[in-house]
């Protein structure tokens, strides 16, 4: 059983009282009184705050009293002697838990006084903690065992900074391989998932702050974030995990849309932001780490910048299934674990014919690219036609980056006649050569002769909303104009195309389509595309 602990990190008693009320109102299951934050620290003030918790909570909420050593992340400069007195006073006043640094417990003879006080208050418990702010422990398992050897009744707490998401796995291993009450997670941006997964893996508590200002450690999430987008209340040992692998990842809308759909469908599934820094090697290590730990129950990933190519290579090297067009594009934006497609990935979003089936026992990896299918479906719906009508259609694609590549692959596969226009002409030429298209620089747009124009550059994207990749004079009423930019949903290019009487297709539709296709690959079920669209619009 994992408890959601909210630290009270106020400088004054009045502020602390307010934080206690707010924390209880947000659903704190445990309060941690971080007394080291009090500017005027005294034993009576701590006793007073313990009384405050009892008087305002309708049902008893356990309290951890901590007076952290500045050397282990504590606030203020309270001397060790005073910090020990505070903890002893807290025991005397009925604190459920006191948290003391293991290093100070064993090294300075404080253990005798604390053990004696605990003997007098047998209902109170000791948390013995070790914090490593710079990097990992030499051996976290030894640290855990040392704590239990020194005090078998204590709850060991081991917390370290993850410099990379791959550093989180030893924390997961320790939780997985041990039983009973223990607290293990990672600090820092790269450690974020460990604070969320601590619940499924049975850490005794995980910490979340009232708000960003009240956070007491790097990477601590707010209660609202943990309970809202990360669906903390629903997490248990059976929760299946998904996520978006990206760098940066904080801006990604994917966790919000997939979690909203999982919640709406009542699925015990959770979608996480997975910050994987580095190139192919770091990416491979991350997926190797996942593969070595089936008990984490990761089932699938969205993959975005800069890892789409690495994702395809990884699955290729592992001998997994590659959707043919993803292979041709050279990039995968979706990985599915534990499933193998029996039939070939059929026609984009209409791929239900090749529904995934469990192979049983052996884990299978499969790589797909839902970008081109999402784009092609947005195009055919927007133009009111079907894929057959794309044959011989003259199309102008502006841009030659990753999105252009996926769309060009899909369009040429459907038989369209594509010309690629790009600022860097050589990139346009290279892409055109791969897919048998024509190419030109951006000046070639003045001789535009296409029935479908697609912007695959970032021009016009928020905050540069007054920019457009194609001057209005070049747009024609008999054209369909598709802008892959989805923030804002209506770009200047689309507004000007509409004014000319052209059909318009927005990037939001493509974005929702590719996410819906991922949802189907992840779950085997259709996504609620309307809900996805609502969540994206609300987020941007
Ligand atoms: P990318 O690989 O970095 O390619 C960027 C492309 O934009 C290149 O062709 C680049 O030209 C061109 N470009 C950028 N700034 C330019 C400028 N100021 N003037 C002229 N050309 C410029 O990026 P990507 O992954 O293809 O993404 C491109 C855009 O697609 C994103 O910005 C996003 O808005 C959109 N997108 C949409 C979805 C969706 O689902 N709707 C999904 C992903 C991305 P050079 O080759 O000359 O550098």
Give how far the C-alpha of residue 317 lies from the chain's centroid of Cα atoms, to the nearest Å: 26
The pick from 403, 505, 507, 513 for probing ligand 1's pocket by mutation, whose C-beta has the most ligand atoms within 8 angstroms, reads 403
- C-alpha Rg value of the chain to the nearest Å: 28
Residue 340's pLDDT band, with cuts at 50, 70 and 90, is very low
Question: Look-up: residue for tokens 């000319």?
Answer: 500
Question: What is the rounded distance in angstroms from the CA atom of residue 269 to the CA atom of residue 283?
Answer: 23
Question: What is the rounded distance in angstroms from the CA atom of residue 519 to the CA atom of residue 147?
Answer: 44
What is the DSSP secondary structure assignment for residue 220, as one 8-state letter? P
CB 158 within 8 A of CB 184: yes
Look at residue 362 in the predicted model and tell me its pLDDT.
54
Determine the distance separating the centroid of ligand 1 and the alpha carbon of 481, expressed in angstroms.
Answer: 16
Average pLDDT over residues 104-116: 91
Nearest CA to ligand 1 atom 21: 423
Average pLDDT over residues 260-271: 96
Q: For strands 339-341 and 356-358, give the pairing.
A: antiparallel
Average pLDDT, rounded, for the chain: 93
Question: What is the rounded distance in angstroms from the CA atom of residue 271 to the CA atom of residue 260?
Answer: 10
Q: How many C-beta atoms surround the C-beta of residue 309 within 10 A?
A: 17
Average pLDDT over residues 157-186: 98
Determine the distance separating the centroid of ligand 1 and the alpha carbon of 400, expressed in angstroms.
Answer: 8
Q: Which of 244-248, 317-321, 361-365, 390-394 is least confident?
A: 361-365
Residue 216's pLDDT band, with cuts at 50, 70 and 90, is confident
Would residue 109 be called left, alpha or beta, if left means φ above 0 and alpha means ψ between -120 and 50 degrees? left
Count Cβ neighbours within 10 Å for each residue of 435-455 and write b for 16 or more, e otherwise. Answer: bebebbebebbeebebbbbbb
**What is the end-to-end Cα distance of the chain in Å, rounded?**
36
The pick from 373, 401, 407, 455 for probing ligand 1's pocket by mutation, whose C-beta has the most ligand atoms within 8 angstroms, reads 401
Q: Which atom of ligand 1 is nearest to the CA of 485?
A: 34
SS3 298: strand
SS3 445: helix
| Omega within 30 of 0 (cis) for the link into 217 | no
Determine the distance separating the centroid of ligand 1 and the alpha carbon of 120, expressed in angstroms.
Answer: 67
Look at residue 215 in the predicted model and tell me its pLDDT.
86
Q: Which atom of ligand 1 is nearest to the CA of 487?
A: 34
Give how far the C-alpha of residue 513 lies from the chain's centroid of Cα atoms, to the nearest Å: 20
Question: What is the rounded distance in angstroms from the CA atom of residue 397 to the CA atom of residue 40?
Answer: 66
Residue 218's pLDDT band, with cuts at 50, 70 and 90, is confident
Nearest CA to ligand 1 atom 18: 459
Question: What is the rounded distance in angstroms from the CA atom of residue 274 to the CA atom of residue 196?
Answer: 12
Residues identified as active-site = 308
Residue 342's pLDDT band, with cuts at 50, 70 and 90, is very low
Look at residue 344 in the predicted model and tell me its pLDDT.
38
Determine the distance separating the centroid of ligand 1 and the alpha carbon of 233, expressed in angstroms.
Answer: 38
Nearest Cα to Cα of residue 240 among 336, 175, 168, 310:
336
CB 307 within 8 A of CB 283: yes
Q: Which atom of ligand 1 is nearest to the CA of 427?
A: 46
Q: Does the pLDDT of residue 346 top 70, yes or no?
A: no
Look at residue 53 in the predicted model and tell me its pLDDT.
95
CB 168 within 8 A of CB 136: no
Nearest CA to ligand 1 atom 34: 485
Tokens for 353?
């014919």
Look at residue 363 in the predicted model and tell me its pLDDT.
65
Determine the distance separating the centroid of ligand 1 and the alpha carbon of 416, expressed in angstroms.
Answer: 21
Q: Does the pLDDT of residue 355 top 80, yes or no?
A: no
Q: Which amino acids bring their CB within 6 angstroms of ligand 1? A: 399-404, 422-424, 427, 456-459, 461, 484-486, 507, 510-511, 514
Nearest CA to ligand 1 atom 22: 457
Nearest CA to ligand 1 atom 27: 403
SS3 156: strand
Nearest CA to ligand 1 atom 46: 424
SS3 251: coil
Look at residue 59 in the predicted model and tell me its pLDDT.
87
Q: Does the pLDDT of residue 478 top 50, yes or no?
A: yes
Q: Which atom of ligand 1 is nearest to the CA of 371?
A: 40
Nearest Cα to Cα of residue 476 among 439, 449, 442, 507:
449
CB 480 within 8 A of CB 453: yes
Nearest CA to ligand 1 atom 7: 457
Look at residue 154 in the predicted model and tell me its pLDDT.
98
Determine the distance separating the centroid of ligand 1 and the alpha carbon of 399, expressed in angstroms.
Answer: 6
Q: Which atom of ligand 1 is nearest to the CA of 399?
A: 9
Q: Which of 198-207, 290-299, 343-352, 375-384 is least confident?
A: 343-352
Question: What is the rounded distance in angstroms from the CA atom of residue 183 to the CA atom of residue 5?
Answer: 11
Question: What is the rounded distance in angstroms from the CA atom of residue 195 to the CA atom of residue 217?
Answer: 12
Look at residue 58 in the predicted model and tell me its pLDDT.
82
Look at residue 338 in the predicted model and tell me its pLDDT.
81
Q: Which atom of ligand 1 is nearest to the CA of 374?
A: 40
Question: What is the rounded distance in angstroms from the CA atom of residue 232 to the CA atom of residue 84?
Answer: 34
Share of the chain above pLDDT 70, in %: 95
Question: What is the rounded distance in angstroms from the CA atom of residue 75 to the CA atom of residue 467?
Answer: 48
Q: Which of 29-33, 348-352, 374-378 is least confident?
A: 348-352
Residue 356's pLDDT band, with cuts at 50, 70 and 90, is very low
Q: Does the pLDDT of residue 217 top 90, yes or no?
A: no
Look at residue 485 in the predicted model and tell me its pLDDT.
96
Q: Where are the alpha helices (DSSP H) in 318-451?
A: 324-329, 370-383, 402-413, 425-435
Question: What is the rounded distance in angstroms from the CA atom of residue 482 to the CA atom of residue 456?
Answer: 9
Question: What is the rounded distance in angstroms from the CA atom of residue 518 to the CA atom of residue 111?
Answer: 54
Determine the distance separating the centroid of ligand 1 and the alpha carbon of 140, expressed in angstroms.
Answer: 44
Q: Does the pLDDT of residue 358 top 50, yes or no?
A: no
Residue 6's pLDDT band, with cuts at 50, 70 and 90, is very high
Nearest CA to ligand 1 atom 23: 401
What pTM was computed for the model? 0.91
398-409 pLDDT tens trace: 999 999 999 999
Nearest CA to ligand 1 atom 2: 401
Q: Which atom of ligand 1 is nearest to the CA of 511?
A: 40
Question: Look-up: residue for tokens 């802008």?
Answer: 483
Higher pLDDT, 352 or 82: 82
Determine the distance separating the centroid of ligand 1 and the alpha carbon of 536, expressed in angstroms.
Answer: 20
Average pLDDT over residues 172-180: 97
Q: Could you tell me the sign of the dihedral formed by the alpha carbons of 314, 319, 320, 322, in that order?
A: positive
Look at residue 352 in the predicted model and tell me its pLDDT.
39
Look at residue 396 in the predicted model and tell me its pLDDT.
98
Determine the distance separating the centroid of ligand 1 and the alpha carbon of 458, expressed in angstroms.
Answer: 4
- The helix (H) or strand (E) run that includes residue 302 is strand 298-303
Average pLDDT over residues 208-232: 90
What is the DSSP secondary structure assignment for residue 306, as one 8-state letter? T
Give how far the C-alpha of residue 259 lies from the chain's centroid of Cα atoms, to the nearest Å: 11
DSSP bridge pairs for 99? 66, 127
């Amino acid at each position: 059983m994992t408890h959601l602990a909210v630290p009270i990190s106020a400088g004054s008693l009045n502020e602390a009282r307010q934080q206690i009320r707010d924390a209880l109102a947000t659903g704190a299951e445990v309060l941690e009184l971080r007394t080291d934050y009090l500017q005027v620290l005294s034993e009576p003030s701590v006793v007073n705050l313990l009384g405050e918790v009892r008087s305002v909570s309708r049902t008893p909420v356990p309290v951890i009293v901590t007076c952290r050593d500045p050397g282990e992340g504590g606030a203020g400069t309270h001397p060790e002697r005073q910090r020990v007195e505070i903890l002893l006073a807290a025991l005397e006043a009925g604190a459920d838990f006191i948290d003391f640094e293991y290093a100070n417990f064993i090294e300075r003879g404080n253990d005798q006084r604390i053990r004696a006080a605990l003997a007098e208050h047998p209902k109170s418990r000791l948390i013995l903690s070790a914090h490593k702010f710079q990097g990992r422990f030499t051996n976290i398992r030894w640290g855990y065992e040392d704590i239990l050897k020194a005090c078998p009744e204590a709850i060991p707490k081991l917390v370290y900074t993850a410099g990379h998401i791959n550093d989180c796995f030893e924390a997961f291993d320790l939780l997985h391989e041990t039983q009973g009450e223990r607290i293990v997670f990672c600090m820092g941006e790269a450690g974020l998932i460990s604070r969320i997964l601590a619940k499924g893996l049975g850490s005794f508590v995980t910490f979340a702050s009232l708000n960003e200002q009240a956070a007491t450690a790097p990477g601590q999430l707010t209660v609202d974030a943990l309970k809202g987008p990360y669906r903390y209340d629903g997490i248990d040992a059976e929760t299946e995990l998904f996520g978006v692998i990206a760098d940066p990842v904080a801006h990604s809308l994917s966790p919000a849309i997939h979690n909203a759909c999982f919640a709406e469908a009542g699925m015990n599934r959770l979608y996480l932001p997975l910050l994987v820094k580095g190139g192919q090697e770091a990416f491979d290590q991350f997926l190797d780490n996942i593969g070595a730990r089936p008990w984490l129950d990761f089932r699938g990933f969205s993959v975005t910048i800069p890892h789409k190519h690495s994702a395809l290579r990884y699955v290729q090297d592992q001998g997994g299934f590659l959707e043919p067009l993803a292979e041709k594009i050279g990039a995968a934006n979706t990985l599915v674990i534990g499933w193998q497609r029996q039939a070939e990935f059929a026609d984009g979003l209409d791929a239900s014919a090749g529904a995934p089936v469990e192979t049983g026992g052996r884990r299978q990896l499969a790589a797909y690219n839902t970008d081109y299918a999402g784009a092609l479906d947005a195009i055919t719906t927007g133009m009111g036609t079907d894929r057959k009508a794309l044959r011989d259609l003259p199309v102008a694609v502006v841009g030659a980056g990753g999105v252009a590549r996926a769309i060009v692959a899909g369009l040429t596969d459907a038989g369209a006649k594509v010309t690629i226009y790009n600022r860097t002409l050589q990139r346009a030429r290279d892409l055109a050569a791969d897919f048998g298209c024509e190419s030109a620089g951006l000046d070639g747009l003045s001789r535009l002769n296409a029935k479908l124009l697609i912007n695959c550059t970032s021009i016009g994207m928020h905050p540069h909303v007054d920019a457009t990749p194609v001057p209005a004079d070049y747009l024609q009423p008999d054209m369909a104009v598709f802008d892959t930019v989805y923030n804002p949903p209506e770009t200047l290019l689309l507004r000007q195309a509409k004014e000319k009487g052209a059909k318009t297709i927005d990037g939001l539709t493509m974005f929702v389509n590719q996410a819906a296709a991922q949802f189907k690959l992840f779950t085997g079920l259709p996504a609620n595309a309307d809900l996805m669209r609502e969540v994206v619009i609300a987020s941007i």
